Amino acid sequence: MRRPRLSVVQLSRLFFCLVLTFISCKAYFHPGVPDTHDGENHLARFANYKIAIREGQFPPRFAPNLYHRLGYPVFNYNYPLANLVSLPFSIAKIPYHFTFKIIMFSSVFVAIYATWLWLTKLGVPFWGRVVASTSFAASPYLFQSIIFRGNVGEVMALSLILCWLLWIEYSSDRKTVIEQRSLLSRIFSPESVAGGSILGAFFLSHNVTVLFATPLILGWSLWRQRNTQDGLLRTITALLFGLGLSVWFWIPALAEQSSIVVGGSALAQQYAQHFPTFRQLVSSSIQFGYSYVGSVDSLSFALGLTQLGAIGCSIGLVIADRLGKKHRQTKDQSTFLIFFIATILLTLLQTTVTHSLWQTIPLVRFIQFPWRLGLLALIANTFLVGYVFQRNIAWQKYLLVSLVVIQAVIMLRLAPVGYINKPSLHYDLFEQSTTTSNENLARNFTFSELGDWQPVPTVLSGQAEVNVLSWNGSQRSYQAIVNSPALIAEPTMNFPGWQTTIESNSTSKPVSYEDNQLIGGRIAYHLEPGTFTVHSQFTQWTWPRVLGNALSLLTFATVLCTVASLFFAQRREKHDS
């Protein structure tokens, strides 16, 4: 049986989206990676994720070599999707910077291609899709995320949101004869598994984006499928699958917040001082920079010429419709109004005008920067660009075409502030924390002698001789010959999950950790006189991790069984026909 070939139209569409991706990611076609806010941090996380797996952590939660070799629980709290995707490349010994480029380029391409298909499903005409996709690819927010901020997690989240929006449209088109399918077959349908996989990946892509985007995209999903029983069932099932696939990360990340200092970090407390002004949203120089406390920033928060033009045209359309002007009505006028309102609200929410509203939002302090809502505003605005062409008002179309050309030229002239091209070993031995304010430090960690790390325990009091048998960042064994009661400290940050046992005279027992000003939050314990073999290992044995891992494993097994069942059912159907 011949495999279906791509048509000329499909190939042309792929080629166009690929060209737009090259435009957005042109800075990555250069030796090394752009010098960005987060780029090197991600490379170091790629390295430590591989090292943690190699040392027996699964899933990794404690980065063995970060924070001056003392270890750092960054993986327990920060989005793991990019690290998971990097693993095959790291195992194949592909340089981390090249892996970063592959992930970023692929994510941007998926985002642009999904945008095109999504707009097609919403009835946007061809030239509307061309201009809207170009405005998306050349938007200041996306460009800065790629070449100035280097936030690969946020770009992955953006692409997965668009995949979910596309899934909603395909799922809505899927006509199911309810009487001919059992409830079980509708729950474990190909659409539910696909949607659950998209949501599962999205929930692991970027913490802040997940927290603020999830209510919006689920609300849109339920509204879009409100008239179809099967559509609602597929959405709910996909949500449950997605949650199940991601709770191995989210249950520990939320339940173990009290173990780290994140709630009291500077960024968590200063979100209210990072609101852009209206002037910054309308016009600010697009260049490498940072978001500072107050209204003086070097990072641009500009919406973009095309984005501003789309808002202006949409306001005109709303006013014209309300005044009774005769414009051709589209099939789904309410969709336009929803995205128009979403664009306006998501833009206003980035400014101080809505500060009082922000204070009522749960978990608001964890967004750190309100201007991150620009990512969601960009998606809504992209539809508005396409909708202008759907309304077919000539002067508005010419205006947006002119603006998108100017915007694309401006973006093409942007260049990174510099490039970094370091060997992989540099990131294997990376000693910083990879977080902005060290917000994942263990709450009781105060040890300050960071430059004198050695892979050997220290005898803080008493008399003892220590001989190391084996050592790495996740587990170690050593012999301790204790002559008088001794306080032993390992050069590792103490964090829930570490377990130390001592063996003596063929008996084994766990130790109780201690802490004081001298210990400073390291792994430490007392030993009485004697000869001991000591084993320390980072484990998954906390109730949030056990629960999260078990639920995700069960969900993953269910998804695999469903996929296998659907595959063999399809094979049987083809064989019978």
Give residue-wise pLDDT tens across range 71-116. Answer: 999 999 999 999 999 999 999 999 999 999 999 999 999 999 999 9
> Would you call 3 exposed, middle or buried from its count of C-beta atoms within 10 A (0-12, 13-18, 19+)?
exposed
Does residue 567 lie within any of the structural domains?
no
What pLDDT is recorded for position 83?
Answer: 98
- Domain match, 136 and 235 both: yes
Q: Which residue has the tokens 């689920």?
A: 218
What pLDDT is recorded for position 176?
Answer: 47
- Domain match, 402 and 464 both: no
Q: How far is residue 387's CA from residue 123's CA, in Å, rounded to a whole number?
A: 9
- Domain match, 391 and 478 both: no
Percent of the chain residues past pLDDT 70, beyond the cut? 92
Domain interval for residue 512: 458-538
Does residue 564 lie within any of the structural domains?
no
What pLDDT is recorded for position 266?
Answer: 57
Is residue 475's pLDDT more than 70? yes
Does residue 86 lie within any of the structural domains?
yes
Does residue 443 lie within any of the structural domains?
no
- Domain match, 391 and 524 both: no
Does residue 439 lie within any of the structural domains?
no
- Domain match, 364 and 417 both: yes
What pLDDT is recorded for position 541?
Answer: 97
- Domain match, 486 and 362 both: no
- 442-476: b or e for each residue (b if 16 or more CB lie within 10 Å)? bebbebeeeeeeeeebbbbebebebeeeebebbbb
What pLDDT is recorded for position 186?
Answer: 77
As given in the structure block, the two tokens for residue 246 are 């991601």
Q: How far is residue 190's CA from residue 196's CA, in Å, rounded to a whole number?
A: 10
Does residue 568 lie within any of the structural domains?
no
Contact between 297 and 290 under an 8 Å Cβ cutoff? The reply is: yes
State the number of CA atoms in the 13 A half-sphere of 509 facing the CB.
Answer: 8
Does residue 563 lie within any of the structural domains?
no
Indicate the number of domains in the chain.
Answer: 2
Strand, coil or helix: 497: coil
- Domain match, 262 and 192 both: yes
9 alpha carbon, distance to own chain's centre: 32
What pLDDT is recorded for position 188?
Answer: 83
CATH of the domain at 507: 2.60.120
Model confidence band, residue 354 (pLDDT cutoffs 50, 70, 90): confident
Which pTM does this prediction carry? 0.94
Contact between 350 and 301 under an 8 Å Cβ cutoff? The reply is: yes
The 10s digit of each residue's pLDDT in 412-461 is: 999 999 999 999 999 999 999 999 889 999 999 999 998 889 999 999 99
- Domain match, 26 and 157 both: yes
* Sequence-ordered list of residues with C-beta below 8 angstroms from that of 228, at least 6 positions apart, any chain: 172
> Would you call 574 exposed, middle or buried from its count of C-beta atoms within 10 A (0-12, 13-18, 19+)?
exposed
- Domain match, 386 and 531 both: no
What pLDDT is recorded for position 74?
Answer: 98
What pLDDT is recorded for position 506?
Answer: 85
Is residue 331's pLDDT more than 60? no
- Domain match, 74 and 145 both: yes
- Domain match, 266 and 383 both: yes
- Domain match, 22 and 161 both: yes
Does residue 298 lie within any of the structural domains?
yes
What pLDDT is recorded for position 280?
Answer: 81
